[in-house]
Each structure stands twice: as C-alpha cells, then as structure tokens.
Amino acid sequence: MTSAYDVVVIGAGIVGSAIARELAGHDLSVALVEARRDVGDGTSKANTAILHTGFDAKPGTLESRLVSRGYHLLSDYAEHTGIPIERTEAILVAWDREQLDALPGLQEKAEANGYHQCEIVDAASVYAAVPNLGPGALGGLTVPGESIICTWTVNLALATDAVNRGATVLTDHRIVGVGLDRELTTLHTGTGESVAARWVVNAAGLGADHVDGLFGHHRFTVTPRRGELIVYDKLARALVDKIVLPVPTARGKGVLISPTIYGNVMLGPTSEDLQDRTATGTSQAGLEFLLAKGRALMPRLLEEEVTATYAGLRAAIDHGDYLIEADPAQRYLLVGGIRSTGLTAGMAVAEYVRDQLAAAGLALRPRTALPDPPRMPNLGEAFPRPFQQAELIAADPAYGRVVCFCERVTEGRSATRADRSSHPPRSTDSGDAPGP
Ligand SMILES: Cc1cc2nc3c(=O)[nH]c(=O)nc-3n(C[C@H](O)[C@H](O)[C@H](O)COP(=O)(O)OP(=O)(O)OC[C@H]3O[C@@H](n4cnc5c(N)ncnc54)[C@H](O)[C@@H]3O)c2cc1C
C-alpha cells in the first residue's frame, strides 16, 4: 500500500487531469492514477481537436452548460500556458433543401445555448468563405467562435499544472478492485499494489462503467463509438482555412473538414458503435466512407497526399447527457459519458466536480499561493516554432538543431519534457491511436 490521499482521481485524460489540477489548488493531497504508461494516452489524444462554442448542444443539459463554460475557461488557460489555439471560425453547410430548412432551428438552438453569434448566409457567402467547396451548397450558418486547438498540449498542461500544485501522478496503475471502509477506500491495481483514498473520483472515460461497477453500481454502459479520420499533407492547408461542418444528425456532429493546428487538413470523423474498447485502428470501410464524403465536400482535397489516418473512441453511454453524480456515503463521484465534447468541457467539468464534492462533504480550502501555470512549447504551425526563434537558439543552440525534418522538431524541443518538465514522458511511442 502506498500513502493515503485525500482524493484519488482515476483516469489521466483531459477530464481527470483537469479535475486533479482543480482539486490540487486546495489544501488536499491529490493523486492522479492512470492505467496506461503516460497521461493523455486514451481518447484525449485522438479526437478532432476543436474548441467548441457549444452552439449545437442540447439546450438545458449539463453538457450544454459545461461546454459553454469550458470554452471560455480553456480559451483563457490557453492564453496563459501557450497552448496553441487558432480562431479559425466554422461554417455549417446545407447541401439539400431539408438541411437548408434546418438552419433556422440550429440558429435558435445556438441562441438557447447562450451563443448569439451564428448567422444564416446564402450559397454565395458560403463559397466566398470556402471557395474550394464542392458544387451544390445551398446556404450555411456561420459559427465565428469555433476554434482549433492542440489536444495533446491541453492534456499535458493540465497534468503538469496538477503536479506543480502538488498532485502525484501514478501511471501504470490500472484499478481492478475496490475495498470500501468507513474512513478509507482501497484501490487495488493490476500490479498488486494499492492506493488508499478518502475520496475517489472516477474519470476513467471508456472504463468508467467498469470502475463504477467496482463500487457496486450498475447505472450505465459505455459503448465505444469509433471516429476515424484522415489527415492530409500541409500543402492542403491552402484549400481551407475554416472548419466546414455538416448539419448535425441524431448520431452526432457528422463528417467535417478542418484545418489542424499543426498546419494539416483533416477529414472525419466517422461514427460507429463497437464492442471492443481497444479498437483504435482504422478500417477500410471507414476510410472509404470518408473519401466518398470528402469527394462531395471538397473534391480538390482528395488530390492532396494523405499524411496519416487515425481513430478515437468516444465514450458513448445510454444516457442523453453527462452523468456526474456524487455518492456521499461512499465518498465517491462518477464522471461518465463525456462523449464528444470533453476536450472543450474538461476544465468546466472540473469546476462542477469540485462543487459536487464540496456539497457531498469534502472540505475544500483554496491554497493561498499557487504556482504559475506551466508555459507549454508551441506545436502550432501558425506561431513561431522554436527553430524560428533566434533568441531561443542563442540561449540554447539545441533549438537550432532539427531532429525531425517533417515536423521540424528541434533537439531542444524533443528534450523539453524529458529534461525540464515536472511530468516527464514515459515513452516516445505515439501508441496505437495517433491524434491529429
Ligand atoms: C473522434 C473523436 C472526436 C472528438 N472531437 C472532439 C472535439 O473536437 N472537441 C471536443 O471538445 N471533444 C472531442 N471529442 C471528445 C473528447 O476527446 C473526449 O470527450 C475527451 O477526450 C474525454 O476525456 P476523458 O479524460 O474523459 O477520457 P480519456 O482521455 O479516455 O481518459 C480516461 C483515462 O482513464 C484511464 N482508465 C480507464 N480505466 C482505468 C482504470 N481502471 N484504472 C486507471 N485508469 C483507467 C484510461 O487509460 C484513460 O487514459 C472527440 C472524441 C472522439 C473520439
């Protein structure tokens, strides 16, 4: 048994890392416990990396509230930490009469979600905004606030910040059993080691229902909903500088075309319910489906080279909203169903969890002095990269030595986390589900 913590957060994705950071801002001992070898190695590394305004959320839901709040929190945090973010805007395009007729309803929905910047535009304006769009667009809805962001840097910044605030990160700690006692909960790991906690937060993403079961609950089931994506070469970036959205359906947000923060263009994601929670490989059928969509949306994009394909698994649940519930008797809180908006909402989920824990009886005293948030190295193509910064190179010539010529990673940058970070990398392996 290692030491006992006031709070143990299970799962070091964006949501768990944001919660650990938030709680570590209080007079508490906090541990962030992760099954995998590194933080941010689950769904948080393989998504579409859009900072959503929440314009299309279901009004009145917890998700709508937290996405909208998370949008502002993460925008602000990105500014303070250097997480790369680009204010690209989005345009939602209607391709048939039915979709065109749906635009006023979508605008009303955005208003109901507190987002008042959407405008309905005609076909000419759509083509003026995205000249390379395929033929047949009938009109659109602008969403000026939608932005692109680096999901990896978000996760890493939150986990690093949590560590700087005193939290302990325990990787390679998969929770496989729970022992409940009056004072302490014992979390048993796959290696035989255990971690003791006064309070436990379950932010295990795709594994949240299994962990919930260990506490004796049977309230939901996670269905992994795979989203496959195609990433095009940086030369394609000139084709599109906005996020091109489809009209959403009951199954989700649909297939989009978006610039990436790294200077590429992506097409996707698909939406397919699976059984296997580890199935992060791409499929021939998924990629063919995307190519057919892409051919109609932007034929010129298909002439560009494909750099990569990847897939991520949304933690879809049989419940129409985020499922965040505290059990004061067990000193336990579940964070479930953070399906397709958790990158955006993570920091707001953390605030909400903090308040739920306080209401359930956890004593929270904010720390008087907190360290500054970490300054993250820039991975975004739209901002000066280390190899372009003469001052940085003068201070440390390693920033002038390029070790990866495709992505122009310098020796200084590749050493950044290993040598200087409070949360050094556990592996240089990009894993089985590379992100955008
Ligand atoms: C294709 C796709 C596109 C998306 N696009 C967007 C987008 O554009 N914008 C947006 O805001 N959101 C988007 N999302 C959603 C977003 O990526 C997720 O909501 C978010 O990453 C969820 O974070 P998380 O921390 O809950 O889960 P995860 O990142 O999966 O973290 C959960 C962690 O818990 C660990 N774990 C599980 N079981 C255990 C256990 N028993 N013991 C210890 N650890 C455990 C896992 O290893 C994992 O690291 C998208 C998702 C997908 C799949």
Q: How much is the pLDDT for 2?
A: 59
Q: What are the beta bridge partners of residue 265?
A: 232, 259
- Measure 265 CA to ligand 1 centroid, in angstroms: 22
The whole-angstrom distance between residue 86's C-alpha and the CA centroid of its chain comes to: 15
Query: What's the Cα-to-Cα distance from 365 to each of 20, 156, 429, rounded to whole Å?
Result: 15, 25, 39
Q: How much is the pLDDT for 383?
A: 85
Q: Which of 32, 43, 335 to mutate to test the pocket of ligand 1 (most atoms within 8 A of CB)?
A: 43
Q: How much is the pLDDT for 418?
A: 44
Q: How much is the pLDDT for 81?
A: 98
- Measure 44 CA to ligand 1 centroid, in angstroms: 4
Whole-number Å distance between alpha carbons of 222 and 52:
23
Does residue 102 have its Cβ closer than 6 Å to ligand 1? no
- Measure 92 CA to ligand 1 centroid, in angstroms: 25
Q: Residue 15: CB partners within 8 Å, gap ≥ 6?
A: 44, 203, 205, 335, 338, 342, 345, 346, 349, 350
- Write out residues in the chain with pLDDT < 50, as ranges: 416-420, 428-436
Alpha carbon nearest to ligand 1 atom 12, residue:
341
DSSP-derived 3-state class of residue 188: strand
Question: Which ligand 1 atom is at minimum distance from the Cα of 312?
Answer: 53
Q: How much is the pLDDT for 424?
A: 58
Does residue 86 have its Cβ closer than 6 Å to ligand 1? no
- Reported as a single tens digit per residue, the pLDDT across 58-104 is 999 999 999 999 999 999 999 999 999 999 999 999 999 999 999 99
Q: Which of 15, 22, 38, 47 to mutate to test the pocket of ligand 1 (most atoms within 8 A of CB)?
A: 47
Helix (H) or strand (E) holding 228: strand 222-232
Query: What's the Cα-to-Cα distance from 19 to each of 30, 146, 318, 389, rounded to whole Å?
Result: 10, 24, 24, 34
Alpha carbon nearest to ligand 1 atom 20, residue:
342
Whole-number Å distance between alpha carbons of 121 and 141:
6
Does residue 70 have its Cβ closer than 6 Å to ligand 1? no
- Measure 357 CA to ligand 1 centroid, in angstroms: 22
Does residue 340 have its Cβ closer than 6 Å to ligand 1? yes
Q: How much is the pLDDT for 433?
A: 40
Alpha carbon nearest to ligand 1 atom 9, residue:
50
Does residue 189 have its Cβ closer than 6 Å to ligand 1? no
- Measure 10 CA to ligand 1 centroid, in angstroms: 12
Are 153 and 83 spatial neighbours (Cβ–Cβ below 8 Å)?
A: yes
- Measure 241 CA to ligand 1 centroid, in angstroms: 27
- Measure 310 CA to ligand 1 centroid, in angstroms: 15
Question: Which ligand 1 atom is at minimum distance from the Cα of 16?
Answer: 25
Does residue 150 have its Cβ closer than 6 Å to ligand 1? no
Alpha carbon nearest to ligand 1 atom 41, residue:
175
- Measure 242 CA to ligand 1 centroid, in angstroms: 25
State the DSSP string of 133-186. PPTT--EEEEETT-EEE-HHHHHHHHHHHHHHTT-EEE-S--EEEEEE-SS-EE
Task: Determine phi and psi for 43, rounding to 5 degrees.
Answer: -60, -30
Does residue 314 have its Cβ closer than 6 Å to ligand 1? yes
Does residue 43 have its Cβ closer than 6 Å to ligand 1? yes
Does residue 49 have its Cβ closer than 6 Å to ligand 1? yes
Are 189 and 195 spatial neighbours (Cβ–Cβ below 8 Å)?
A: yes
